[in-house]
Structure 1
């Protein structure tokens, strides 16, 4: 986005190759709008699946909630590697220089970047995007540390659509155990399996098909399938930085606002905020002023989304067993009172309600 609006951009990538470790990823309306604007979505569509419905089901198969995914609620699911590859191609086509094996170890407010080999580079703007375990955020006084939440997620990418023929995202809820299933392109299915971190039997790999079947009987055949499939385990983590910028240095993405994936907004908020940053830099000649305007304008959306993602984790994954009967009434309220969904899904509107949501002046370059 910076290159398309006139900047000379260099990406320093720590690893020897550009690659993603993960399974599938949900892109919601706020990130879809950005990818459309910059001409990346068309190539992604062929590698993902645009969903039509999200359905929440209990262990016996009864529908708790159903949502139509259209307009500002639209969702596309695809393999993470596909997203990384398409963004890389778009960046290179825009003139971005990508240097691999170049680990950054320090940044400073004056725009200096220090690499692992001891070399230093100066820039008008330095952006750190090095994930929840960021080393760079401490370079300008940010002492935020990742906070582990007591929830475990195992992710799978199945090489078929046997259990996801329709363009639906289905989520099955057992007692503090949850499974999500969604098609992720023509020949792949993204699956996530969530439980309490203390529920070691449910979180272990390979997955215990018999144990999970007792929690969600309707998926007995499915659990036999994923018991044989490779999986990537994670524990939910959150990061909240007191500030996202200082001088001519900024921090973005999970490094600034890592959140649990309960709302599918980790990537979405990052892409949306990156779009806001590019817009702010077109509206202000001074970089430090642009960074302050950017954070002031977009931060409230991110903070509210992060707070709701944490609340939803408690409701979906760590609800007290003796209050399990309350899940149906709560789900009913979210289904029948749109204002609740609107508050929880504030990020799906993107930046449309802010001055940074205006179309960029150089948008003719994006076609």
Structure 2
């Protein structure tokens, strides 16, 4: 079964969906409102489920070559004590691959390069998406331009206008209670671990080491939505000046204008369906989650492969979309709930007694038990596209 598709949104999920659809013989166009597709963003960790999805899309080898495996590190206290140690080799033995760290811009570029240039219209603001006839969807922008296709994939992010149009009674995204500041270092940093998280009271600082010696760092703070700082880097130096190394060094290796600041939102109320007519919702448009499990991009990649596989094997597009919804909604919404809980027990925890109890429990948890908990989300086998 082949057809035509318009993917709305040129982020990781949208590009992955386009690659998957092209691999099963569909004609695809990705429309993006931005006038230029820029390689922006900080860093990202990809677990086994995300890497296996990329393998099925044909870009896994390129991503692994550009990424750095996360074999060492773990979770620490602000004073530097270890709560848990990462055993990347044990995880690799269990699922066949370590978690890897890669600049988001590099991942985005590798996905974009897997598509022909004419499949990537930019400056097209998909303001209206509607069914015009049985089996036909029309996508219009604000200037009167329009595209028609057999399928529209809504990969337009947490603020998805397509989702709002399909589910007008849904409350939409809400503030999670946290805000994140992140950046890539301009200089190389002497790091002794591949990945770390440090949990304080209502605050988290983490880093991901990259292959070229630079690193991504992020600081997550429990703050009201809209909180902003005149000098974000100076504010972080004030808050984290007495936290363990290499946190001060990471901040010192960063340009002030490189710091990105975003409130963390989520779709706390689950959607009743990821498919309406010939429109499929994917990634953050379907299940925006907090970043506390590092699964947002991985779940979008799972969506992309599952959608393509359903369309490749189902007798009709309608049957394929029903299958996609049935397979993806329970898993992705369960991961979103787990991510929310991880944040409440991790970065957002602030009461001193509760923090002490959590830290004690983490120190007493055996490494293999911790690995089994991780495998609940990482151990996913993709459907075959070829």
For normalisation by structure 2, the TM-score amounts to 0.83
1:273 pairs with 2:303: yes
Q: 1:279 to 1:194 in 2, by over 3 A?
A: same
Per the alignment, residue 90 of structure 1 pairs with 114
- 1:255-266 pair list within 5 angstroms: 255-266=285-296
Q: Which residue in the other structure is 2:252 paired with?
A: 225
Determine whether 1:135 maps to 2:161. yes
Deviations 1:26-48 (A, max 9, x none): 11111101212333123223432
Distance apart, 1:116 and its partner CA: 2.1
Equivalent position SS for 1:18: coil
Equivalent of 2:217, from 168, 191, 206? Answer: 191
Deviations 1:31-81 (A, max 9, x none): 101212333123223432121134111122211101223243721111111
Partner of 2:232: 205
Match runs of 1:311-326 below 5 Å: 311-322=341-352, 323-326=354-357
Identify the residue that residue 11 of structure 2 maps to in structure 1.
none
Change (3 A) 1:334 1:307: farther
Offset of 1:121 from its aligned partner? 2.4
Structure 1: segments with no counterpart, 5+ residues: none
Are residues 265 and 149 of structure 1, via their aligned partners in 2, closer, same or farther at CA, if it must alter by over 3 Å?
same
Note the residue ranges of structure 2 that are not aligned, 5 or more in a row: 1-19
1:195 is displaced (CA, Å) by: 1.4
Please, which moves more after superposition, 295-304 or 114-123?
A: 114-123
1:67 to 83, 86, 91: 86
* Deviating more after overlay: 45-54 vs 128-137: 45-54
* Range that drifts further, 7-16 or 52-61: 52-61
Q: CA deviation at 1:17?
A: 1.6
Question: What pairs up with 1:248-259 in 2 under 5 angstroms?
Answer: 248-259=278-289
1:40 aligns with 2:75: no
What's the TM-score, normalizing by structure 1? Answer: 0.87
Q: 1:201 to 1:87 in 2, by over 3 A?
A: closer
Partner residue in 1 for 2:72? 53
Deviations 1:200-256 (A, max 9, x none): 799961233243123x24446426515754210111110232221111111111111
What residue is the counterpart of 1:162 in the other structure?
A: 189
2:322 matched residue in structure 1: 292
Structure 1 residues 241 and 289, CA gap change in structure 2 (3 angstroms):
same
What is the alpha-carbon root mean square deviation over aligned residues?
2.6
Q: 1:186 to 1:227 in 2, by over 3 A?
A: closer
Give me the whole-angstrom Cα distance separating, in 1, the residues matched to 2:144 and 2:366: 55
Residue 77 (1) aligns with residue 101 (2): yes
Does the 8 Å CA contact 1:155/1:190 hold for their aligned counterparts?
A: yes
Q: SS state of the match for residue 106, structure 2?
A: helix
Q: Which of the residues 122, 125, 146 maps onto 1:103?
A: 125
Partner of 1:117: helix, strand, or coil?
coil
